[in-house]
Amino acid sequence: MSDLHIASVTKLFGETSVLKGVTLDVKDGEFISLVGPSGCGKSTLLRIIAGLETPTTGTIAIGGADVTQLRAADRNLSMVFQSYALYPHLTVAENIAVPLQMRQMTALQRLPLLGGLLPSARAQAGDIAQAVSHAAQILEIAPLLDRKPGQLSGGQRQRVALGRALVRDPAAFLLDEPLSNLDAKLRVQTRTEIAELHRRLQATFIYVTHDQVEAMTMSDRIAVMMGGEILQCAPPDVIYEDPDDIRVAEFIGSPKINILPVERNGTVLTVFDQVLSAHFSADSPKLMQMGLRPEALRLTQTAPLLTGRVVHLENLGAEIFAQVALDSNGSRVTLRAIPAQRHSLGLGVQVGLSFDLNSVMLFDADGARLRKAEVAATRAAEVA
Amino acid sequence: MVAVDASGATRVTKPKADNRQARTGWMLATPALVLMVLILLVPIILAGVLSFTNYSLGNSGFGWVGLQNYERLFARSTYEKMFVATFTYVVTVVPISVGLGLGAALLVHSLGRIGDIYKTIYFLPVMATLLAMAIAWEFMLHPTIGMVNRTLEMACGTWLEVIPFFAGGCADGFPIWLGDRDYAIWVVCFIGIWQGFGFNMVLFLAGLTSVHRELYHAAEMDGARSGWERFRLVTWPALGPTTVFVVTISCIRAFQVFDTIEAFWPQGGGPNKSAYVMMFAIFEKGIQQNLIGIGSAITMLFLLFVMFLTLIQRWLVERKVHY
Amino acid sequence: MTRDWWKHLVLILGAIIVLAPFYMMVSYSFKSPGEIDRGEGGFFGRQEMMIDPRCVALRQPGRADIEAARARFVGQDDASVQASLLAETEADCSMRPALFNYSKAFTEAPLVRYLLNGVAVTLSIFLIQSVVALPAAYALAKLNFWGRDAVFGLVLFCLLIPVHAIALPLYIGLAKLGLTNTYAALVVPWTISVFGIFLMRQFFMTVPDDLIDAARMDGMSELAIVWRVMLPTAIPALLAFAIFSVVAHWNDYFWPRIVVTGNRDLFTPPLGLREFKGDGDGSFFGPMMATATVIVTPLIVAFLLAQRRFIDGITLSGMK
């Protein structure tokens, strides 16, 4: 019913192009994250969806109706702002009631004193009060209803902003980095709560964040944006395991994916002169880049593909990340190890590393994924 | 051994450091404190005491006259005119200069960078020496060769003559402004507004820039369609503290009007004392005529008004602070 | 821009009214009395040569002048010699109206002296205010001492008192001390700026304690901390306060009017202008407007050069 259709939207701010033709379809009830580094255009895209900015070209449709020319107030969307944007002079209850008052009551009914005397206004006010207390119950902020935003903690304000968004029944919720002003602990907790809220409301959520962890943990689909474009829009596991672009692979995942150069000499693939796969037959460039997640690397003593010295260790308890400076050119790769392997890792220790070819992602020099080459490489290795 | 020494040392030096800090504190604050008492507090007490006497400078003694000075203030028609003139001025200048200041600020703010030129222009009267500008205005308002009446005369013979003011002016001459008891106080008010609204505008502009932009977006998302609704929901509440302050400071400044009146009418405060404001009365009675008792009584009333206003402001702000 | 045309219309109308007296003041300072009377000559006037009647009157050729000049006008009778001399005088005494107005402004009254007085008084007021207020503000903001809250309470109370309002008792006090008609009278009542103390105290509150502790660790005395650590960090606030103070006292007319009577050597610029007006007749509109222009110009120019600082400084009082 309220699916969202964004078609080749561009946005120019003066001379600079902030969005370069973004197309995105959001299904009804979907939780979609727009993630990317700052300045990638994700907030601009959200504000264009909201109607706070107009696109230079392109269209926005909600539920099949073109809303590109409609102003924000008429689009039936609600938004949670980074700074929460609560009206400081209104109590929590009044803040939550504002969207209902603006939409359901006439200007006359809203008049401060006179409005209260109209019977219709009183009936309306009753309905609104009920809606407000319902929203407050969902978010567990009922005890705060009489306070003003200035008397609330960051987390509480965040809930009030959520309450103001969900008090009416919008076509979609737009959330602009709603967790970025919270401390780390609260962020994790609120993350869960927003995801649960989404499941409960079954509503469309469009969530802008620069934090890949938020995107990974909450979304049905993630749209990774860079330089004003959506590089890839897919479920989190696909984004992580099967990225289309080296920039996506590098942006998602912590620690960062390891990138190593791969060379093709005829039918032989090599990395730092170590043969990865002979009898390689595929139409691929001579120079490629290989992406390896830290967990794809494993320690080995027999026939290691890579060798190097441990230069830095991070023990996170459940896992250990080791940075290894490769002997071949000194570049560092990160390896994930389990605590049981702790004894074989120590600063300065020489280690051998190996990996499975089917966990390798190949990219061309421009960063585009080379899936055919990967398949060919894996097959060649199996044949050998 | 070492540990004991250390703890002993801290126990001894702590109060010592406190003592030293206290001594320095008093040392640094004393000059200001002394001056504050001598220059601000003692004169108030002095004025309070003198307002019950018939003291004059040069006289060796004085007599206590009780409330006689205050009684006179409320009985004589001169002082009635003083109160009328002062309150007319305050009640006219404050709302209009605050309103114009707010209006100008909203317009200038909505224009962005181009608006800065207006900000500069409107602020010029605040910077200019008021006395000089009062004299300039006096020339502008000169009945025969002043720019104002010359401009008005240009309307003669046009359709504007339909308006009674122009019809009368063209037939019998335009007002002589400063010499006319019906116009004098209003001209002074006009100059007060002319001089003060730019200051208010700048204060409002400062208030406007501190309004978080996301609040306007939130209001838009919440369905506030018209500019008026957004003003009601976001701008006006955000300007609340600024408004309280602007009104108070405008009141205090309006109460203190003196330069224009002394420049226009060095003797006596306007035609038929129609612009005989309190500061001028203090100056004339207390200093020129050496009637210190009555001058002090006016001073005390004046202080009462001003402090009352400021206290109301503080109270309003305190209430608003708890957002 | 096109959508905003009505805003520009309203604002431009306002700007015309705001600028009108400035326009007139500067324009009249260029014009001859005749042009002022008749209201002609545009902004700059026609700048035709005009004869200064007072100059001519002062140099009316007497008997001795005629005798002395006889050698130059051989074979002429007395009347024509006198006429020639008069013509010479008139030629000497004629000048462009703009020059006439401004030279009169500086010669009819010691305007330079007034301006210097203005500079001296405003600067001394600001300096003394700073010297008194800064240490007190530091003590109130950063030192713990018994009675501090009481002192600060007193500061808050004194903020309520406009100094102009207590002019009469202050005047009496100064008169009793025999200080009226001195520079001291112009400066003394303003030496304490409660607003300055309050302002600087609020500013010092925002300076981290660590900075002061570090200075103490480095072995500075409390006074040295005020001048060598706090003062430099407070420069922006102090600058704003300086603008606030200088503008107020350069333009102040009320207080100098009270304590300086008659002694021209002590006149501040507004007093000088006032005196000019007092004894001027119609023909002196030009020089008077020249004087007004000279007095108003320094602050206006400074303001135009550093608008942001000025606006910040003047509106400072609105921030707290």
Question: Which residue in the set B145, B262, B306 is minimally distant from C165, CB to CB?
Answer: B306
Count each helix (H run) and each strand (E run) in chain B, helices first.
16, 0
What is the residue-averaged pLDDT of chain B? 86
Q: Which of A48, A74, A81 to mutate to test the interface with B (most CBs of B within 10 A)?
A: A81
- Is residue B299 within 8 A of residue C171, CB to CB? The reply is no
By the CB < 8 Å criterion, does B242 face chain C?
A: yes
Give the pLDDT score at A89.
87
C33 & C170 share domain: no
Q: Answer whether B24 sits within 8 Å of C143, measured CB to CB.
A: yes
The helix or strand, by DSSP H or E, that contains position A306, with its residue range, turns out to be: strand A306-315
Question: Is the CB of B222 less than 8 angstroms away from the CB of A102?
Answer: yes
- For B106-144, what is each residue's pLDDT tens digit? 999 999 888 899 999 999 999 999 999 999 998 888 888
Structural domains of chain B, count: 2
Q: Which residues of C touch B128 (CB under 8 A)?
A: 22, 251, 296, 299-300
The dihedrals phi and psi of B65, each to the nearest 5 degrees, come to -120, 10
Answer whether B237 touches A (CB < 8 Å).
yes
Pair C77, C125 in one domain: no
Q: Report if residue C32 sits inside a domain.
A: yes
CATH, residue A107:
3.40.50.300
ipTM (interface predicted TM): 0.86
pLDDT over 50 at B13, yes or no: no
Q: Are C214 and C286 in contact (CB under 8 A)?
A: no
Domain membership of residue A108 as a residue range: 4-248
Across C189-217, b (16+ Cβ under 10 Å) vs e yields bbbbbbbbbbbbbebbeebeeeebeebee
Q: Indicate whether C73 and C131 sit together in one domain.
A: no
For residue A239, pLDDT beyond 90: yes
C191 touches chain B (CB under 8 A): yes
DSSP reduced 3-state for C69: helix
Interface present between A and B (3 or more CB pairs within 8 Å) = yes
Question: Do A239 and A348 lie in a common domain?
Answer: no
Domain boundary among C70, C86, C108: C108
Query: Which pLDDT score is estimated for A204?
Result: 93
Which among A74, A81, A88 has CB closest to B217? A81
Range of the domain at B24: 1-50
Q: Which residue has the tokens 């505008």?
A: B201
Q: Assess whether A260 and A240 both reside in one domain.
A: no
- Residue contact B240–A89, C-beta within 8 A: yes
Q: How many domains does chain A have?
A: 2
Of the candidates B124, B206, B246, the beta carbon closest to that of C22 is on B124
Residue C193 CA to residue C175 CA, distance in Å, equals 22
Inter-chain CB proximity A74 and B225 less than 8 Å: yes
For chain C, what's the residue count? 320
Q: Are residues C222 and C162 in the same domain?
A: yes
Cβ of B128 within 8 Å of Cβ of C165? The answer is no
pLDDT in the model for residue B2 = 38
What is residue C233's predicted lDDT score, i.e. its pLDDT? 86
- CA C286/CA B139 separation, integer angstroms: 11
Q: pLDDT confidence of A252, banded at 50, 70, 90?
A: very high
Task: Look at C24 and B120 and tell me if their CB atoms are within 8 Å.
Answer: no
Same domain flag for B44 and B92: no
Domain that holds residue C157: 111-279
**Closest chain A residue to B228 measured between Cα atoms?**
A107
The verdict on C269 touching B (C-beta cutoff 8 Å) is: yes
Q: Exposed (0-12), middle (13-18) or buried (19+): which is C119, by Cβ within 10 Å?
A: middle
Instruction: Give ∠ CA C308-C248-B296 in degrees, rounded to 5.
Output: 150
Chains B and C touch (3+ CB pairs under 8 A): yes
DSSP C17-61: HHHHHHHHHHHHTTS-HHHHHHT-STTT-----EE-HHHHHHT--
Whether residue C135 lies within 8 A of chain B, CB to CB, comes out as yes
Check whether residue C75 and residue C166 sit in a common domain: no
Let me know whether B111 and B189 are in one domain. yes
Beta carbons of C318 and B31 less than 8 Å apart: no
The reply to whether A270 and A244 lie within a common domain is no
B residues 169-198 lying closer than 8 A (beta carbon) to A: none
Is B63's pLDDT higher than 80? yes
Kindly determine whether residue B323 and residue A148, on different chains, have CB atoms separated by under 8 Å: yes
CB contact under 8 A, C19 and B124: yes
Distance from CA of A49 to the nearest CA of B (A): 11
Q: B221: which chain A residues are within 8 Å (Cβ-Cβ)?
A: 50, 52, 72-73, 77-79, 99
Assess whether A137 and A229 both reside in one domain. yes
pTM assigned to the model: 0.85
Q: What is the mean pLDDT of residues B84-104?
A: 95
Which among B215, B223, B240 has CB closest to A85?
Answer: B215
Q: Can you give the pLDDT at residue C301?
A: 93
User: How many CB atoms are closer than 10 A to CB A187?
Assistant: 18
The reply to whether B99 and B220 lie within a common domain is yes
Interface contacts A/B by beta carbons within 8 Å = 71
Boundary (domain end) residue, out of A231, A248, A265 = A248
- Please report, for residues A53, A59, A83, A139, C46, the alpha-carbon distance to residue A33 in angstroms, rounded to integers and kept in the order given: 19, 20, 19, 22, 73
Chain B residues whose CB is inside 8 A of the A71 CB are: 220, 225
- Which pLDDT value is given to residue B145? 79
Which of B21, B139, B292 has its CB closest to that of C145?
Answer: B21
* CA-based nearest distance C140→chain B, Å: 8
B63: exposed, middle or buried (C-beta count within 10 Å: 0-12, 13-18, 19+)?
exposed
B223/A77 CB distance under 8 A:
no
Note whether A52 contacts B217, CB cutoff 8 Å. yes
Residue in chain C nearest B314 by alpha carbon: C160
Q: For residue range B225-260, list pLDDT tens digits in order.
A: 888 888 989 999 889 888 888 898 899 889 999 999
The answer on A140 and A10 residing in a single domain is yes
Residue B320's pLDDT is: 62
pLDDT at position C50 = 80
The residue of chain A nearest to residue B218, with distances taken between CA atoms, is: A85
d(CA C92, CA C88): 6
* pLDDT band at residue A175 using 50, 70 and 90 as cut-offs: very high
pLDDT at B223 over 50: yes
Query: Count of domains in chain C?
Result: 2
What does C107-145 look like in DSSP terms, one character per residue?
Answer: HHS-HHHHHHHHHHHHHHHHHHHHHHHHHHHHHHHH---
The reply to whether B234 touches chain A by the CB within 8 Å rule is: yes
Minimal C-alpha gap between B171 and chain A (Å): 49
Contacts of C24 in chain B (CB under 8 A): 136, 139-140, 147
One domain, residues A81 and A145: yes
First to last CA, chain A: 54
Q: Which of A2-6, B4-8, B250-254, C254-258 comes out lowest in average pLDDT? A: B4-8
Residues C186 and C273 in one domain: yes
Q: C63 and C11, same structural domain? A: yes
* End-of-domain residue from the set A207, A222, A248: A248
**Going by DSSP bridges, is the β-strand pair C94-95/C50-51 parallel, antiparallel, or unpaired?**
antiparallel
State whether residue B211 sits within 8 Å of chain A by CB: no
Model pLDDT, residue B307: 87
C100 domain residue, yes or no:
yes
* Domain termination residue (choose one: C49, C79, C108): C108
Residues C64 and C125 in one domain: no
Shared-domain flag, residues A300 and A174: no
Average pLDDT of every residue of chain A? 88
The secondary structure of residue C262, as a DSSP letter, is: S
- Pair A40, A74 in one domain: yes
More confident residue, A134 or B158: A134
User: Of B220, B223, B322, which has the smallest distance from its Cβ to A52's Cβ?
Assistant: B220
Q: Are residues B227 and B196 in the same domain?
A: yes
Q: In this complex, is the C-beta atom of C94 within 8 Å of any C-beta atom belonging to chain B? A: no
Phi, psi values for residue A264, rounded to 5°: -115, 120
Asked if the Cβ–Cβ distance from B214 to A88 is below 8 Å, we say: no
Q: Give the pLDDT band (50/70/90) at residue A206.
A: very high
- Mean pLDDT, residues A159-180 taken together: 90
Instruction: Please give the Cα distance from B92 to C85 (Å, whole number).
Output: 61
For B14-47, write each residue's pLDDT tens digit. 456 677 778 888 988 999 999 999 999 999 999 9
Residue A92 and residue A201 share a domain: yes
**Residue-wise over A333-350: b if at least 16 C-beta within 10 A, else e?**
bbbbbeeebeeebeeeee
C235-251 and C307-315 helices, crossing angle to 10°? 80
**CATH code where residue C205 lies:** 1.10.3720.10
Residues A130 and A149 in one domain: yes
CB < 8 Å from B in window 7-66 of C: 7-8, 10-11, 14-15, 17-22, 24-25, 28, 36-37, 39
Question: CB-CB: which of C7, C197, C296 is closest to B132?
Answer: C296
Domain at A274, CATH number: 2.40.50.100
How confident is the model over A281-327, as pLDDT tens digits? Answer: 777 888 899 999 999 998 888 888 889 999 999 998 889 999 999 98
Per the CB < 8 A criterion, the answer to whether A191 and A217 are in contact is: yes
Rounded to the nearest angstrom, the minimum Cα separation between B2 and chain C is 22
Express each pLDDT in A7-66 by its tens digit. Answer: 999 999 888 899 999 999 999 999 999 999 988 999 999 999 999 989 999 999 998 899
Q: Which pair of structure tokens corresponds to residue C116? A: 């210097």
- Residue type at B194 in one-letter notation: W
Q: Do C139 and B24 touch (CB under 8 A)?
A: yes
Q: Answer with the one of A191, A219, A248 that is the final residue of a domain.
A: A248
Whether B113 is in a domain gets the answer yes
Q: Check A87 against B225: CB less than 8 A apart.
A: no
The segments of chain C whose pLDDT lies below 70 read 1-2, 278-283, 316-320
Interface of B with C in 27-86 (CB under 8 A): 27-29, 31-33, 35-36, 39-44, 46-47, 50, 57
- Shortest Cα distance from C16 to chain B (angstroms)? 9
